[in-house]
C-alpha cells in the first residue's frame, strides 16, 4: 500500500476492525469522486457510499449516502434531531473533519461529529467509503462503520 495511512485507516487498525483498502489512481478532472471509485475499482454502485457534511441547526452533521443518490437534507435534519439542514461550507467541513473534499471519510474526524448513515447500507455484507484520501476506498461491514462512528441509521438518501 503506497503512501501514508490516514486517520480513518489508523482508527480501523487500532480498533482491530476487519477491513480492506482499495486504491486507485484519482483523476483530478473527475466530476464525482464516488462514481470515479465505482468505475476505477469495478464496484457495485449501490455499495459505495459518499460522505457529505451538512449543517443542521447550526452544527455540523455528517451524512453517508450511496454515491448514486443525493443527501435528503430534510431527512438528515430529522435523523439528527434538528429542524433545518443545508450543505456545510466546504472550508468548515475540511476543518472539522481534517480531510480534503473528495477524500472525507466518515471515520477518524478531527472533531467528533454526529454521523447519520443511510439505511440502505445495512442491506449489504460490506460497503465501501472513503478511507480519507482521494483514490483510497475502505471496504468494511456496515455494522462496524455504524459502531465506530456512533451513527444513527435512517433513510436519508433521495
For residues 141 and 125, give the distance between their C-alpha atoms in angstroms, rounded to a whole number: 6
User: pLDDT at position 4, please?
Assistant: 67
pTM for the whole thing?
Answer: 0.95
Given a cut of 70, whether residue 1 has pLDDT beyond it is no
Given a cut of 80, whether residue 152 has pLDDT beyond it is yes
Q: Stretch 146-158: mean pLDDT, rounded?
A: 97
DSSP per residue, 30-89: -S-HHHHHHHHHT--GGGBEEEEEEEETTEEEEEEEETTS-B-HHHHHHHTT-S-EEEPP
Across the range 109-135, mean pLDDT stands at 96
Q: Are 126 and 94 in contact (CB under 8 A)?
A: no
Beta bridge mates, 133: 136
Give me the domains of the chain, ranges plus CATH numbers.
19-154 (3.90.960.10)
pLDDT tens digits, one per residue of 83-115: 999 999 999 999 999 999 999 999 999 999 999
Pairwise CA distance, residues 5 & 13, whole Å: 10
Q: Hunting for cell 465501501 — which residue is that? A: 128
Looking only at the bridges linking them, the beta strands covering 85-87 and 59-66 are unpaired
**Rounded Cα gap, residues 88 and 126, in angstroms:** 28
Amino acid at each position: 500500500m503506497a503512501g501514508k495511512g490516514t486517520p480513518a485507516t489508523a482508527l480501523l487498525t487500532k480498533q482491530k476492525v476487519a477491513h480492506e483498502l482499495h486504491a486507485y489512481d484519482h483523476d483530478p478532472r473527475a466530476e464525482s469522486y464516488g462514481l470515479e471509485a465505482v468505475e476505477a475499482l469495478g464496484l457495485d454502485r449501490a455499495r459505495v457510499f459518499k460522505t457529505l457534511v451538512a449543517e443542521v441547526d447550526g452544527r455540523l452533521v455528517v451524512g453517508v449516502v450511496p454515491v448514486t443518490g443525493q443527501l435528503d437534507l430534510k431527512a438528515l435534519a430529522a435523523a439528527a434531531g434538528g429542524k433545518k439542514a443545508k450543505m456545510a461550507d466546504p472550508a468548515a467541513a475540511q476543518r472539522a473533519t481534517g480531510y480534503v473534499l473528495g477524500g472525507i471519510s466518515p471515520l477518524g474526524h478531527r472533531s467528533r461529529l454526529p454521523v447519520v448513515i443511510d439505511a440502505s447500507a445495512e442491506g449489504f455484507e460490506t460497503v465501501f467509503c472513503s478511507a480519507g484520501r482521494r483514490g483510497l476506498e475502505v471496504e468494511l461491514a456496515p455494522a462496524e462503520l455504524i459502531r465506530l462512528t456512533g451513527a444513527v441509521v435512517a433513510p436519508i438518501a433521495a
